[in-house]
Structure 1
Amino acid sequence: MSLEYIYVTRHGFRSNWVVNPTTGDYTGFVRSPTGHPADPALTSHGVSQSQELAAHLVRRSTGPGRGAHAIPVPVERIYSSPYYRCLQTIQPFVHEASKDDQPGSVGSREQAPPPWWAVRCDPGLVDWFGPAPFEQPQPAPLQLLHSKFFPWIDLSYTDSGIVPLRNGESMAQLHARRP
C-alpha cells in the first residue's frame, strides 16, 4: 500500500518563553508541567485548538452545515514531536480514537502490540534552532512524559535516528540532515 496522505499540524497556541542570548538561560512566563521553561503547556486558546483538531480528524461523514465534510482518509498512525505542547495538542484526538478501538484477544496488555493510535515520538520532529554558543533546549524524557502525562506514547517505537545538533544548526545543516 502506498502512502497517499500525510496530515501535518503544528502545536496549538502555547505559553511563551524568553532566552538570554548570552547565557542560554531560558525563562518561561508560566511554569511548564515538565519543569523545562522552553517546553510550555498550551494556553486555553491552544487547548480549544487541540479540541478543534480532534473534531476535524474524527469526522467521518458528510453532513449539513459549513465545513462539514469527511476527511479524505482516516488517520492510521500518529507521529509527534516529544515536546509537551505537541503531545498536548494531539491528546484530544488520541482520546477520541482510543474510544473506538476495541481490545483484541491477545494475551496481556504488555504482550500486545501498541494500538494504531499510540503516539510515536521522534527526536527529529522538534523546533529548529539556529546556531548558538549554548545548548538548545530539549524535551523531557519520554519515560517521564509517558508515566506522568501521556500513557499512550509508544515507548517501543524506534525513532528515525535524526537528532538535531545540541548547539543548533545552520539552515544548510538542517537541509543536509539525513536518517
Structure 2
Amino acid sequence: MGLLSQSSPFACSGRFSYPPVKPSPSVRVGGLLFSPLPRHLTFQSSASPLPSLLLSLPPNLHRPLLQLPFRPLSLSTSRSAYQPPTMPLETIYIARHGFRINWVTENWSTPTKMARDPPLAGYGIAQAEKLGAHLASPPDGEPKPELVFSSPFYRCIQTSAPLGKALGVEIRLEHGIMEWYSTVPIATPQLLHPRPSDPTTLSVHFPPGTLDLAYSSTYYPSRLGETLSDLLLRARLFLIAFLRRIEEEYPDVKTICLIGHAASVIALGRALTGDKDLEVTAGCCTVSTYKRKTQGDKPATVGDWDITKNGDASFLEKGVERNWSFRDVVLSPEGEVIQDQGVPGTGVEQNLPLGIAPGFEKYLPASDLPQLSSSL
C-alpha cells in the first residue's frame, strides 16, 4: 500500500522477493512497477547501503496495492531531498463531514454523477456553516487553520467550503483521507470502488476559488478496497508523507484542518497519537484537536501528537449526531469486514494511481517502514 524508496533525490532501483504464492500480474506504468501485496516482503536496494527490509503486512494477495520504483527517476522529474522545517506544524484539526442527504431520503441525486457520492442534506449544510464559523474563530485562544484539506467526495467539499471561505483559503483535495470501502471479490471483469475526479473537474460544481486547482493529492487508496488493517496502514503511510510534505511546501504554516469521513477520521487519530485503540468521536461535523508533543527540527510524523479535544460538538445545536466507530463494522464469520461487490460498470476502469503519488516518494523514506506493521 505504500511506496518503498530511499530518502534521496532518486527513487532507488532494486529487487524484491516474497514466499511462493500465485500473485496477480504486475503492471508497469512509466517508471513504476505495481505489484501484489505479500504478507512478508523483503526489499533490497542496489542504490543504497541500507540493509534489506522485512515488512509484515496484511495478506491481501490479490490486490495490487504496493508501488515499487522500477528504475531511477531523472533529476528533471524528481523532487529534491526532504529538508526538515524551521517552523513545524503544531496543531491539526480533523473533522467529519455533515449530515448526508441519503440519511433523509432515498430519492436523491449528486452533481458529480458518481456512485456513492451523496451530497449533504440541508441540515448538513447548516452544520457545515457552524463548523466553518467555529474553526474560523476558535474559542480559548486556539489557532485558526491556515490550510484546509478535504476528502474529494462531494459531501466533504461541501463541508469544507464554508471554512475555506471564512478563512479566505482554497480547499486542497487529498485522497489519503477519503472514504473507506471494504475489499471487492476477485472477479472478471474486476469491479472497483468509486474514485472522485480531479480538482479541475470538481471545481465546476462550486464557486470559483473554492478549490486549489494546482494542488495534487499525496496518496491514493486502492479502488479494490481495504481491510481494517489496510485502512489503519493507509492512515499511517499517508500521514508520514503528508506531514513532511506540508512542512516543506508550507514552512510557515503551524495549523491545518482535515475534513474526511468517520473511518478516516478515526484512523488518522489513531495514527497521529500512536494509540491503536483510541476511540475518536466521529459524529457529523464534530472536530478533534491534535497538538504536537515536541518541537525542534524533527519532522512531524505519526505518534507525536496528543488529542486535546475529542469530537467537539459544542458549537452544534444538537451536539454529537450519528456518531460512528469501528464497533459498527459488520464482520464475516471469519472475523473480517464483509466484502463489497464494487460499482457495476467499473470493470473497464483503472485502479491507478495507487499509494504514494509519483513525485512524493522522498516523503516516505525506507527507514520509516519497518515499524509500520508492528504499530497497527
TM-score by length of 2: 0.36
Larger Rg computed on CA atoms: 2
* CA displacement, residues 57-92 of structure 1 (integer Å, 9 cap, x when unaligned): 1225xxxxxxxx345111111111111110100111
Please list every run of 5 or more consecutive structure 2 residues that lacks an aligned counterpart in the other structure: 1-86, 186-190, 238-355, 357-376
Equivalent pairs, count: 142
SS at 2:149's partner residue? Answer: strand
Q: Distance in 1 between matches of 2:140 and 2:226?
A: 40
The answer as to whether partners of 2:151 and 2:173 remain within 8 angstroms in 1 is yes
The answer as to whether partners of 2:199 and 2:212 remain within 8 angstroms in 1 is no
Q: Distance in 2 between matches of 1:123 and 1:139?
A: 9
SS at 1:137's partner residue? Answer: coil
Corresponding residue number in structure 2 for 1:127: 179
The answer as to whether partners of 1:15 and 1:29 remain within 8 angstroms in 2 is no
Corresponding residue number in structure 2 for 1:165: 222
Corresponding residue number in structure 1 for 2:116: 38
Q: Distance in 1 between matches of 2:161 and 2:220?
A: 24
The answer as to whether partners of 1:131 and 1:170 remain within 8 angstroms in 2 is yes
Give the drift of 1:172: 2.4
Pick closer, same or farther for the CA change 1:31–1:76 going to 2, 3 Å.
same
Give the drift of 1:123: 1.4
**How large is the Cα RMSD of the aligned pairs?**
1.9
Q: Distance in 1 between matches of 2:197 and 2:175?
A: 11
The answer as to whether partners of 1:57 and 1:71 remain within 8 angstroms in 2 is no
Corresponding residue number in structure 1 for 2:146: 76
* CA displacement, residues 91-138 of structure 1 (integer Å, 9 cap, x when unaligned): 11222222xxxxxxxxxxxxxxxxxx1111011121111101331122
Q: Are 1:156 and 2:234 matched, yes or no?
A: no
Pick closer, same or farther for the CA change 1:84–1:46 going to 2, 3 Å.
same
Q: Which has a greater percent of strand?
A: 2
* CA displacement, residues 16-70 of structure 1 (integer Å, 9 cap, x when unaligned): 28xxxxxxxxxx630111112311110011011001101101225xxxxxxxx34
Corresponding residue number in structure 2 for 1:106: none
Corresponding residue number in structure 2 for 1:137: 194
TM-score by length of 1: 0.71
Question: For residue 118 of structure 1, what is the amino acid of its counterpart?
Answer: E
Higher relative contact order (CA 8 A, sep 6+): 2
Q: Distance in 1 between matches of 2:216 and 2:148?
A: 14
Alignment of 1:1-179 (within 5 A): 1-16=87-102, 29-59=107-137, 69-98=139-168, 117-133=169-185, 134-151=191-208, 152-160=210-218, 162-177=219-234, 178=237, 179=356
The runs of 4+ residues in structure 1 deviating greater than 6 Å are none
Q: Distance in 2 between matches of 1:150 and 1:159?
A: 21
Aligned-residue sequence identity (percent) comes to 36
Corresponding residue number in structure 2 for 1:114: none
